[in-house]
A and B are shown apart, each in its own frame.
Chain A
Amino acid sequence: MSEPIIRTRGLSKRFGDFTAVDALDLAVEPGTIFAFLGGNGSGKSTTIRMLIGILEPTAGEIRVDGIDVVHTPRRVRDHIGYMGQKVSLYQGLSLRENVEFYAGLFGLAGAALERRWGALRERFDLAAAEGRRPEDLPAAIRQRAGLALSMLHEPRVLFLDEPTAGVDVRSRSLFWDVIQEEAAGGTTVFVTTHFVEEADSCDWVAFIDAGKLIADAPPEALRERFSDGYRVTVRGGDPRAAAAALTAAGLAVESAPDAVRGTAPGLPPGALAELERLRARQPDAHVEVQQPAMTDVFRRVLTDAPRPA
């Protein structure tokens, strides 16, 4: 178990009487995708702004890539990339000029910049947009550009604040492809979002509500705890074979006149393989796997998770 690349202890932020973030303890492993979920006003953005050092916490400590963000926020800047909710492209400058500007601040220029930007441009399909101004570009392209910019200087940690808000479906899936590539390459990605289904693309999920952490686990673990579980339905084919396969898969079986149903809190390991074998042996059988929706999981978390009154 390596040292967490992001760690907070007792992180709090108060604005007058209002507590936006309350004693948050987070730990993010390097090279993982960490989803930070919560509704509007839950404290997500406040937290991320403290993590990147532009907001001073009322209490607690933050370490990012070994740097004490609370006391030496400036030192963290070379290590992190940030994409805010409002995509920060300067109007009146073309996308290319924006790139040159931010790159310049990181000391990236000339051939090195050309190489790096060339790759990103390719990956994010921004060639057509390069010469145009942000105000003339559709939101989806602006968002892609924002993400590309945050990655320009190859930071070790990416902080993305609702990167997929207001973006079309095709771009959203492109985003997550890129994010997963980055994580695979060793970059840590800290993502906030209120699209709960996106949690499935992440390695770890934390739920925040009213400034407090109410869940902090991998997505599957949350499913196991906070849902009615998986439901597999087999229609047609040999009911007994189906029942046997489901039992072998580790599911609790119940028979019904039209189908054989199996349930389990989480999907046991090897269950999918078992179901594949069933399909192979029973071509007439129709096998359906119902995974609990993350939205339902979240709703359950909100009602069930223990919270002080």
Chain B
Amino acid sequence: MSWQRLRTLLRREARASLRDPFTVGILVAVPLLAMVLFGFVLSTEVHGLRLAVLDGDASPASRRLIGDLRATGAFTLVPVRSRDEIELGLVDGRLGGAIVVPPGFGRDLAEGRTPEVNAIYDAAEAVLAGNAEGYVRGVVAATGARLAVRRPASGGGIAVVTSVLFNPTLAGVPFMVSGTFGFVLSFLAVLITAVTIVNERMAGTFEQLQVTPATTLEILLGKLLPMGGVFALDIALMMLAAGLLLGVWPNGSAAFFWIVSALYVLTTLSMGLIFSATSATAAEAVQKTVIFSIPIVQLSGFAFPIRNMPGWLQWVTECFPATHYIRISRAIYLRGEGPLDLWPELLILAAFGALQVTVALRTMGART
């Protein structure tokens, strides 16, 4: 390892990349775009779902129920007068769901019978429907429990007081924001790296490099460190964008998050190097990256909780470094955890990092 050679390599990389406005633009703009896109445009809350209400009873009990539904703030209630209106609205897509309160609702409750409320959802939009279902069941159950006459002998139902930690308003944005770092670093960083380096190989400069005294390790570091630096900067920018534009700041230590992310970047960049070393053209590098990275990102808990997956698949996801990074990001951002809490995950991430850098060294140094 010659520091002088490394310095020479770094100097060239910095000069060449920074002078190309396009590359710099891409390297900075795409991660920021992703942050804004995912954080601002998407949120996994329910709001504004148009729910038709057909109140066939018009009793204090039914009005109480409807009032409770409105109070959740999750629905836009649309009073209707017939089932036909509901059906039409659902088919058209104007309605997301409907609640039908039967006549005699209040009386049944007062007399200890179990009235039946109809809830209809447009389940073509399963995500929305699932959320709505959760809310509606909860509200109906809670209201019902309050209104029902309790006979001491029957024991009756139990009311639940819910309090939410770490995100009392159940805002969807922080969850998305904390996951976006994982997406950008696990997918975009790999893609950009793979393509950039393949282009270099195609231009013949990589071959020339192989004939100089520079060792594979030096060449690897000469690529990783500058790109890593840029992405580390990106992380800081994304953190700022999330904070200033979306109002999401990390609950835990920002510095700790930044350091962990910067180290994770080295891991993903190595992945990019591996893809590029094994591809002959930019198109091939893109294909490889896409094929590998998208499933990994989807399975790493970025958007879909790992917990919901079948057991055997959950074990598979543990083999992805992205899974651990996203877990750590969320822990720091949302629950304010620190290095002492997270050391097992950090250790695993470090092990993955070492492994991938080693494999990158191997593939880059191979003489095929």
User: Given A73-B367, A82-B208, A104-B8, A91–B16 Cβ distance below 8 Å?
Assistant: yes
- Cβ of B4: which chain A residues have Cβ within 8 Å of it? 104, 107
- With both beta carbons as reference points, the residue of chain B lying nearest to A101 in the complex is identified as B12
- With both beta carbons as reference points, the residue of chain B lying nearest to A98 in the complex is identified as B12
Tell me, yes or no, whether B203 is within 8 Å of chain A by CB: yes
Contact of B211 among A80, A85, A97, A100 (CB under 8 A): A80
Contact B204–A88 (Cβ < 8 Å): yes
Tell me, yes or no, whether B169 is within 8 Å of chain A by CB: no
Report B3-20 CB contacts with A as 1/0, cut-off 8 Å: 011011101100111011
Bound Cα distance from A92 to B22, whole angstroms: 12
Bound Cα distance from A150 to B345, whole angstroms: 49
Tell me, yes or no, whether A52 is within 8 Å of chain B by CB: yes
Residues from 33 to 84 in A contacting B, C-beta threshold 8 Å: 52-56, 73-74, 77-78, 80, 82, 84
Bound Cα distance from A253 to B16, whole angstroms: 67
- Cβ of B19: which chain A residues have Cβ within 8 Å of it? 92-93
Contact A56–B367 (Cβ < 8 Å): yes
Residues from 210 to 245 in B contacting A, C-beta threshold 8 Å: 210-215
Report A92-132 CB contacts with B as 1/0, cut-off 8 Å: 11000100111011110000000000000000000000000
Bound Cα distance from A53 to B214, whole angstroms: 13
> Could you tell me the dominant secondary structure of chain A's interface residues?
loop
- Cβ of A84: which chain B residues have Cβ within 8 Å of it? 204, 207-208
Contact A90–B214 (Cβ < 8 Å): no
Contact B12–A88 (Cβ < 8 Å): no
User: Given A93-B16, A97-B15, A101-B12, A54–B367 Cβ distance below 8 Å?
Assistant: yes
Q: How far is the CB of A152 from chain B (nearest CB, A)?
A: 10
Contact of A54 among B15, B16, B20, B211 (CB under 8 A): B211
User: Given A54-B210, A80-B211, A101-B8, A90–B205 Cβ distance below 8 Å?
Assistant: yes
Contact B204–A105 (Cβ < 8 Å): no
Bound Cα distance from A105 to B214, whole angstroms: 6
User: Given A77-B212, A77-B213, A92-B16, A53–B367 Cβ distance below 8 Å?
Assistant: yes
- With both beta carbons as reference points, the residue of chain A lying nearest to B215 in the complex is identified as A74
Residues from 193 to 213 in B contacting A, C-beta threshold 8 Å: 203-205, 207-213
Bound Cα distance from A100 to B212, whole angstroms: 13
- With both beta carbons as reference points, the residue of chain A lying nearest to B19 in the complex is identified as A92
Bound Cα distance from A197 to B321, whole angstroms: 58
Tell me, yes or no, whether A86 is within 8 Å of chain B by CB: yes
User: Given A84-B204, A87-B204, A88-B203, A105–B212 Cβ distance below 8 Å?
Assistant: yes
Q: 3 closest A-B pairs (Cβ-Cβ)?
A: A86-B204, A104-B8, A88-B208
Which residues of chain B have a CB within 8 Å of any CB of chain A? 2, 4-5, 7-9, 11-12, 15-17, 19-20, 203-205, 207-215, 367-368
Question: Could you list 15 A-B pairs, sorted by A, with CB under 8 Å?
Answer: A56-B368, A73-B367, A77-B211, A78-B213, A82-B208, A84-B204, A88-B208, A91-B203, A97-B15, A101-B8, A101-B12, A102-B212, A104-B11, A105-B5, A106-B212
**16 other A-B residue contacts (CB within 8 Å) besides A89-B205, A92-B16, A100-B8:** A54-B210, A56-B368, A74-B213, A78-B213, A84-B204, A85-B204, A88-B204, A88-B207, A90-B12, A90-B16, A91-B16, A92-B20, A102-B208, A105-B9, A107-B4, A107-B5
